[in-house]
Structure 1
């Protein structure tokens, strides 16, 4: 039964919905190409790519003509070309990804998302039951054969947790916000009531590293350690960047702190966007 599935109805449904969305985009006149391109990426592409992991392997030649038509109309709406322009040329001029690039990008994201799930999740067990048959190869098996070489050891698994409503959240105060709060923090630092953390990151010779210094008040210092210094090489430039290294340095510094209460933590960094990120819930 599986070998007789051609997914023609799935492709036709995706093409019909995509055609309706791209025709609405084409009716919008007077917009810049960059704006039209963003609308195509946000409105048309997700409609066509929905559940494409199942039928993408069957989207060839004749079934793919309807999807290619959506691409051609979308590219024409972006650059305003003639209807006789080839689809490949229109896609290159409009700077939009082809359907196969989008399909495999979505498939690789699915493969990575499955591996980021906890091992107790039932979806994670689907990878163990993938079998290869000569007459029919399942869509997930095709994706697994292509994406098997993707690096999965360096992926970070973030365990979800809930924060109780009565728990106090981390309050971040930037230098550009509230001069009174800033002056109060400086006074606490001079009086020895504040914990000071200075972090930095660098990228040299294709390696990304981070480091910092922690200054702990004498009243809460453990084992007589008033100041601590750390320096770690995270990895290559392909896996990390200075921005994430700065976030890692701040997290590393906070993990070194003892269990303290009623203290002000002063963290200094050259990147302002780092602390704006901590202000987000």
Structure 2
């Protein structure tokens, strides 16, 4: 059965009609054998949705609507399943508190770059004999012509020194590699993605279950980022500093706890980096 979905506040919400379809879908994976779907009446569903929203606000500081796709029992522990962007996550609420999260386990971790976009441009790069993993991408705004331009932050080797900024241009159906030229709109898009990755990397240093809760916080907050609202930072106001002669820097809203992302770019080369400051 195909789900109908709506996008609201950066979180994918399934329609009420889809709830019963997902809720009653049998678990087929061997890893899911100990998970049992639990019945949920409409009134109980309404109260549970309100409790999940409150838990997200209390535990992660996130105000967002949710839609519950399933309720599971795993070894006597109740988990609430909700969709998040391209993925889905199971939440464990604290049974001894009004509304607090105890844990969060992604069933499918959403990609920072939309999966279809990343796969498409990786194929384009391979055909242009410049293969690499897409780490972030941004679109150069139209200059009044029919040419489409994309900027890609790409990993082309084993370590960070192999990261480079590539620019693609499409005329008609054919893409080609062209020299990189700085574009503010593209930088703002790229900044949100590299900041998200930096925040996710930070959560891996947290103790359990805070690492998983941190990853959920980053994922939900990154969905609400608005690139146009990012602020350019002066050299005097930057807590981490940058090369004022050769670089530009943006500050973004915190994505995990009070850690503020600062994203810096070299407009000549396109080299970009994200750092977190608390």
**Rg larger for:** 1
TM-score (norm 1): 0.24
Q: Which has the higher strand share?
A: 2
TM-score (norm 2): 0.24
